[in-house]
Every structure is written in C-alpha cells, then in structure tokens.
Amino acid sequence: TNILDCGQGFPVLLIHGSGPGVTGYANWRFTIPELAPRHRVIVPDIVGFGETERPLGYQYNLDNWSQHVLGVLDALEIDRAHVVGNSFGGALALAMAARAPERIGKLVLMGSVGVPFKITAGLNKVWGYTPSFEEMKNLFALFAFDGSRVSDELVALRYHSSIRPGYQETYASMFPAPRQRWVDAMTCPDASIRALPHETLILHGREDRVIPLQVSFHLLQRIERAQLHVFGRCGHWIQIEHAKTFSQLLLGHFSQ
C-alpha cells in the first residue's frame, strides 16, 4: 500500500474518491499541509488506485476496501483516528465507522456515497471513463463548479496517471455497466447509520453534479450527532474549490 504519512498529533485518515487516475495525494494535496501542523496525516492509495499494488484476482468491493483501510491503521499501529471520506471514500468511512466504531474519533463525509440514490449522469460518466485527454478534461469540468479554472497541466497529470500499465484495466473492472448496482453495493444500512455515535461533519457542494445534495440531507437526518455545511458555487471538489475554508472546518471540527 502506498501511504503518505506526515505531521504530528492525533491521527487523521484521508480517504480519496474514485475518479480515474486519482491518488491520495492528488485528492488531498491542498488539505495535507493545512492539517499536518496539528495532526499526523495518513493518506493511503486505496487498493485498485494510485501506486498501491493490484493483487491478481482481488475482489473490489466495500467489504475488502474498508478492511484494507482498517489494515492500514493496523500496520501503522494506530488504534484510533479521525476519518475524512471523499465521495467513494465516504462510503468506506461509513463502513469503517459502522463495523469498527471504536477505531474512529470524529467523522467527516464530503460529497459522500453510502446511502441509496439514483445514479447521476455525472457519476455514470466518471465510472465509465475511457482514456483520452479530452475525456479527462470533460470530467474535470464536471467535477468543478467553474470548469474554466481547470488547467491543461492538471488534466494532463491525471490523464497520464490513468493510462499507466494496468490502471485503466483495473478501473474499468470496478464499475462496469449497468452502474446503478455499484451505487447500491456501497450503501450502509439505515440502522447502522442511525447507530453511529460519532461527531460527524457532512459537507456538500450545492452544484455537485456527481453526487446529489440529497444524499447529505439523508445522512444529516439519520446521524444523531451531525452537522451539515453546504457550499454555494461549488461542485464535487470542495477540498479544491474551497480549500482554505474546507481545511478550517476540519480543524474546527477536530478541536471541539
């Protein structure tokens, strides 16, 4: 497992989303330096993504992904950590919290998957990515509220990451059509969500075209100790589009 481990203090585990060519660093590059002065920041590439090995015959599913992340904490001898999950990573964070609540300090769910919803055209396009520079550029415009701010340099970086040997083959195998079944497969039962004891910060972009805002309202209604912050003029990339405010909210949440 490829892991970025930096900073000192109570551990914070950052779990990335499921876009093509994603890595933990690419997802959290603006968040890491804001948190590291106060926390030990752990950023893994989830199995199937980034620089982490892709074992032959590995079954990519919620059970194995959430066990993989718990295994990262075990390997680093971390008994308990705050957990931040972005999109796909939110489903992993929910699964971890439901299955091993004692391992989680505080929870943050950003544009999270994990409850039932009808798959959006945006998410269907993300999971159905076929490699090309133009296709990656179109996805970036989909993620961001203001696509004009996305540089060709950043698009090229993610595109070249997505076509490294074995990367696209693995990615295409995770979410083949019809893709509604993968949304359903990553849900956490309502009873488990209602039972969560953790202080939870829920974050969502009002203009998110990948994960519907209604998902975060669903979570707010079911997690007893939850707060919701909605960002206006923001798509699916809160941690990039509103990087400073996002990090400040996390630090405030962790310090309470």
For the annotated catalytic residues, the residue numbers are 87, 208, 236
The CA distance from 163 to 178, in Å, is 23
The residue type of 243 is: A
The CA distance from 130 to 150, in Å, is 20
Neighbours of 134 (CB within 10 A): 9
Q: How far is CA 244 from CA 33, 34, 104, in A?
A: 11, 8, 24
Would you say 107 and 89 are in contact if contact means Cβ atoms under 8 Å apart?
Answer: no
CA angle 47, 53, 57 (to 5 degrees): 75
Would you say 111 and 142 are in contact if contact means Cβ atoms under 8 Å apart?
Answer: no
